[in-house]
Amino acid sequence: MNKRQIGNSNLYVSEVSLGAMSLGTDENQARTIVDQALAAGINYIDTADLYDFGENEKIVGKAIQGRRDELILGTKVGNNFDAENKDWHWDASKSHIKSGVKDSLQRLGVDYIDLYQLHGGKIEDNIDEAIEAFDELKKDGLIREYGISSIRPNVIREYAKRSDIVSVMMQYNALDRRPEEEMLDFLAEHHISVLARGPLAKGMLSNRAVEKTKQKATNGFLDYSYEEMMTMIEKWEAFQSPERPLNALALQYVLHHPTVATAVFGASSPEQLVENLSFLNAAPLTDELYSSIQNVTRPITYHQHR
C-alpha cells in the first residue's frame, strides 16, 4: 500500500488506516480485524483514551501485542473522564495531558506513542500551556509527534501558528466538504497533514448508500435536507462500477488532495474491513470523475464550531 508522510515528520502512514473506535469489546474479533488490516498493508491505527472510557485502548493494546514495530499508533487526550461513572469533562491543561499519556501508555501496553493528539480544543483553552506539555512529552521520548483532532478553523489556525503540530484529524468526505473551503490549502502551506475521519459519512457513501442515508439522515445532514440528501445519494450511486465500488470511491475522494495523509475508516467486523480494502484494487480516480463528484455535491462552510 502507498504511504504518505505526515507533515515534515518521520511518520509515513498507509493511505487508508484503521480507526479503532468501532472495534467493539470482543478481543478475538478485534485481533482478527487488526491482523487483517496489517496484512493488507495498513500501518496506522487510531484510538483515543475516551473511547469506551479507556477500554478501547486496552483492546487495541492486546490486538497489537507482539506487533508494535509493524505499525504507527495514534491516540488522543483532553477528555478527563471517570470510567466508573461514565462521565467526562474537557481538560486541556498541561497536568492532564502529561498524566493522560502515562495512563494511555499503560492501557496500550507500549513504551511510546507515535502520534499523540489533542482530542478537540477550544479557543478559550490555554493553548500555549497545552503546546508546552506536548513539546515536553516529545522531548522525553514518550511521544514521537503530536497533532490535534479538531474541526474548528480558529483553533487549528492557532496551533498551526504557535506549535509544531504535524497533523490535524478532521471530518472530511464528499458530503462534508467544509475542509476544502478554508483548511486544506492552509494546512498544506504550513506542512501539516490531514487525517481524514468519517470518509464514508456514516456509511452514506458506502456500497449501501441509499439504505444508510435513509437510516442516518432522516433529519438531514449538515446543511442538506433529507430530500437533498436522497437526491445526491442516488446520483452518487450512479458512480459505482465493478472497477470502483463506492467504498473505494469515497476513500479516493478525500485522498485526492495531497495534504490528506490518510483516510481513517472504522470497521466493526472483518467484512466491513474487506469492503474498505476494495480501495486497493480500485481503478484510479480521474480528475474528470473527481469534478463530477463535486458537481453532484456542494461546498459548505463552517458556520458553527469555529
Residues designated as active site = 51
DSSP string, 234-264: HHHHTT-BTTB-HHHHHHHHHHTSTTEEEEE
User: CA of 52: how far to CAs of 81, 84, 146, 195, in Å?
Assistant: 10, 11, 22, 22
Residue of 165, 50, 44, 46 whose CA lies nearest to 103: 50
**Residues β-bridged to residue 197:** 171, 264
Residue located via cell numbers 462552510: 301
Residue 192's SS3 state is: coil
User: Dihedral angle at the C-alpha atoms of 130, 262, 33, 61, nearest 10 degrees?
Assistant: -20
Angle (CA) 292-191-179 rounded to 5° is: 35
User: Dihedral angle at the C-alpha atoms of 255, 261, 265, 270, nearest 10 degrees?
Assistant: 100
Residue 118 cell numbers, joined: 489533542
Residue 225 cell numbers, joined: 435536507
CA atoms within 13 A on the CB side of 196: 31
Report the C-alpha gap between 149 and 197 in whole angstroms: 10
Element (H, E) at 12: strand 12-14
Element (H, E) at 156: helix 153-162
Residue 166's SS3 state is: coil
Q: Which string of b and e fits 179-204 if b means at least 16 CB within 10 Å?
A: beeebbebbeeeebbbbbbbbbbbbb
